[in-house]
Amino acid sequence: MRFVDEYRDPRAARSILDRIVELAGDDHFKFMEVCGGHTHTIYRHGIEHVLPEGVELVHGPGCPVCVIPMGRIDDAIAVAETPGVVFTSFGDMLRVPGGHGSLMDAKARGADVRFVYSPLDALRIASETPEQVVFFAVGFETTAPSTAVTLLRARDLGLTNFSVFCNHVTIVPPIKAILESPDLRLDGFLGPGHVSTVVGNRPYRFVPEQYGKPLVTTGFEPLDILHGIMMLLRQIREGRCEVENQYTRVVRDEGNPRALAVLAEVFELRPHFEWRGLGFISQSALKLRPEFAAFDAELRYSVPGVRVADPKACQCGEVLKGVIKPWECKVFGTACTPETPIGTCMVSSEGACAAYYNFGRLHREAAVTLGRRG
């Protein structure tokens, strides 16, 4: 268990692992970690190599950069290339390829595309310029409240040159879609940590109640991940099936009521939204309520709104559904690298392919050299 020595508390890690080995016995378990942050930790710390053979982790759809479909990137570029527009975005989104290149390419062609850390940075830019400022909003419930607060602030300030191209998505529908998918047999979920600080643990109850799978909301340290896996196995062995919270240090059952209230005030559900790899999922994304129409970039600008198929070589869809591992994609590490991404999963550090490219391969090689879990 060489990798364990690098963990913050190797003794605790070893004892949790012993318990995992004992609980797993000779059976095979497949658990999905929903969140890209988990995927990153798992590859960064070689967690899959310290787990017993019978406990397999598959990556889920919880990386917001990864799930945005090509067509929406093209829409973003169309807005960015509108004369007089300053287009603002989180850094990761600038490199995501659409059907006609990325926002970076649009910038190179002369569009005014700027990187921002926060939607409030975009709002500040709008307060300082007469030009139209558009913010490219992406993310799950972790970042959606920030966009909502920013829109309320824009309204209070009476700014007429600020709008949002809204691509916020919600966490529950894709989990449901995966549970409905015939491709995958799962035994339980490591629930997302940060999203749950906003939504709480209650929205996941359908997972045990309707689908008979346990879910444990889990933190981001290696020890958290191991602990979450142990809690899943313990539920199964004790014949329980429920939502449990491993990350009580940060996540409360009721979530953050204020953030939820702000979300409800500013956004409503879209009837449909396309997810990369998962296709159209109903009521899975947010749009601005009619009261905020003046701030809605989709209404202000003409966006093509065309569905663009993923490149043939790209297997992000299968990666996002947990059907294949990153290294099983044919272009992984050859045509598709973090420097020249073909698919979204190679762009964000929380994308499974980028996380595996940056860290996982080394652990895998080390594990092979040392003999598995040597």
Q: Residues interacting with ligand SF4, by CB under 6 A?
A: 314-316, 319, 326, 329, 331-332, 336, 342-343, 345-346, 353
Residue with Cβ nearer ligand SF4 (203 or 360): 360
Binding segment toward other proteins, per CB under 8 A, in 100-108, 183-191, 193-201, 325-333: 193-201
Ramachandran category for residue 255: left, alpha or beta (phi over 0 → left; psi -120 to 50 → alpha): left
**Residue 73 in contact with other proteins, rule: CB under 8 A:** no
Query: Cβ of residue 89: shortest distance to other proteins, in angstroms?
Result: 10
Instruction: Name which of ligand SF4, other proteins, none residue 287 binds, using a CB cut-off of 5 to 8 Å depending on partner kind.
Output: none
Query: Cβ of residue 42: shortest distance to ligand SF4, in angstroms?
Result: 16
Residue with Cβ nearer ligand SF4 (50 or 314): 314
Burial of 130 (0-12, 13-18, 19+ CB in 10 A): exposed
**Residue 181 in contact with other proteins, rule: CB under 8 A:** no
Instruction: Name which of ligand SF4, other proteins, none residue 139 binds, using a CB cut-off of 5 to 8 Å depending on partner kind.
Output: other proteins
Query: Cβ of residue 315: shortest distance to ligand SF4, in angstroms?
Result: 4
Residue window 336-365: x/- pattern of binding to other proteins, with contact defined by CB under 8 A: ------------xxx-------x-------
Give which of 254, 243, 308, 335 is closest to 72, Cα–Cα. 308
Residue window 52-71: x/- pattern of binding to other proteins, with contact defined by CB under 8 A: -----------xxx------
Q: Token pair for residue 12?
A: 């605790």
Q: Which residues contact 180 (CB under 8 A, 6 or more apart)?
A: none
Contact 77, 101 (CB under 8 A): yes
* Distance between CA atoms of residues 243 and 50, nearest Å: 25
**Residue 127 in contact with other proteins, rule: CB under 8 A:** yes
Binding segment toward other proteins, per CB under 8 A, in 87-95, 163-171, 232-240, 307-315: 87-95
Instruction: Name which of other proteins, ligand SF4, none residue 161 binds, using a CB cut-off of 5 to 8 Å depending on partner kind.
Output: other proteins
**Residue 149 in contact with other proteins, rule: CB under 8 A:** yes
The one among 159, 269, 308, 335 contacting other proteins by CB under 8 A: 159
Query: Cβ of residue 221: shortest distance to other proteins, in angstroms?
Result: 5
Residue with Cβ nearer other proteins (45 or 321): 45
Residues that bind other proteins (CB under 8 A): 8, 35-37, 40-41, 44-45, 63-65, 90-92, 115-121, 123-124, 127-128, 130, 138-139, 142-143, 145-146, 149, 153, 157-161, 194, 197-198, 220-221, 249-251, 256-259, 262, 348-350, 358
